Amino acid sequence: MADTSYLEWPFFEDQHRELAVAARDWCEAEIGSDGFDEHGDVDADCRALARQMGAAGWLKNCVPAAFGGLNETLEVRSLCLMRETLGYHSGLADFVFAMQGLGSGTLSLFGSDDQKAEWLPKVASGEAIAAFALTEPEAGSDVASLAMTARQDGGEYVLNGEKTYISNGGIADFYTIFTRTGGEGARGISAFLVPADTLGLTIAERIEVIAPHPLARLKLDDCRVPASALIGDENAGFKYAMGTLDVFRSTVAAAALGFARRAQDEARNRAQMRELFGGTLAEMPVVQSQLAEMAIDIDAAALLIYRAAWKKDTGAGRISREAAMAKYYATETAQQTIDKAVQIFGGMGVTKGSVPEALYREIRALRIYEGASEVQKLIIARHLLSEGS
């Protein structure tokens, strides 16, 4: 069982401690030790997990209280605690929870009341699957270079272009799509709410990755949506995308933290049980050193994550620097922690079906999506340089 002593840190209130314990108990009862087993039909499993988490009330953390949620606004500490707990037990369960939040996040933060009323209660119940469509074939980390276009035609917008590596692509009920409505650069981007059954929106390709999750390339060919599908103001989409990531980037770090805690527990248990050279692995100084490094990195990551989340929840307008630090450090060190666990397991660590092997595949994408590690370092450096100017 993962260490929970950090819940006594001053970043948390009683409601957060209660949430973490309740989520852990639910995961142990409903997911158990099988969360990293191979999934047969990943699409069906994702839909089932969304309904299951919706029925249990966990997805209420993903939307504001006025539209079926638990908190007045999106509460980052709660989102992080949920992702950390789910990540410890199941990579796919974490994915489903995360995408419900991210996919509807722009709507929660910047959408109209009518848009929220139509979709957010369905997100909270697990009835509707959400997706966040930002990345394009030639525009990933550089959001300002988006090429997809939307032109106004009377009371409609006509969208043309492609999106790729879209999580929940192919199973989503609606997409938050960012596209160009103005000139070049960041100022010409807008966000649209596009139901999956809209004419002109097709799934061009399903994309398989090392940790099975539903991903797809979307194609929009003269896809017409009403003017009411515009989220917020025209040409404010870049600000909305960054505002959404500002909330959810810390939660990516929290998922990595959950993976790292699970790897640490698996490695410790293996080291205490595995006999070698007349003793156990845990008695060997080199293994003790690895376990100590795991513990240090996990605590440091947790401190960065919950500092960022606490700062956002207590009124900070933007936490780009803090969130970037948390995401960079937590995902990079989680990769190292999981690698150490694989090494301690030896041959079993690279055997398909073992928890360390599954964690090794799960963690790799977290160092890329919602801003690759290199992008996080750029964000941190720019903040540092602007402070010194």
Q: Could you give the CA distance from residue 104 to residue 227 in angstroms, rounded to a whole number?
A: 19
Q: To 10 degrees, what angle do helices 14-30 and 42-56 make?
A: 130
Q: Could you give the CA distance from residue 143 to residue 238 in angstroms, rounded to a whole number?
A: 8
Q: To 10 degrees, what angle do helices 237-273 and 91-110 make?
A: 160
Q: Are 231 and 240 in contact (CB under 8 A)?
A: yes
In the set 184, 370, 374, 387, the catalytic residue is 370
In this structure, what token pair is assigned to residue 23?
């989520």
* Stated length of the chain: 389
Instruction: Give yes or no: 370 in active site.
Output: yes
In this structure, what token pair is assigned to residue 204?
């061009």
Amino acid at 133: A
Q: Could you give the CA distance from residue 269 to residue 282 in angstroms, rounded to a whole number?
A: 9
Calculate the CA 305 to chain-centre distance: 13
State the burial class of residue 295 (Cβ atoms within 10 Å of its Cβ: 0-12, 13-18, 19+).
Answer: middle
Place of tokens 């040409």: 235
Catalytic residue list: 370
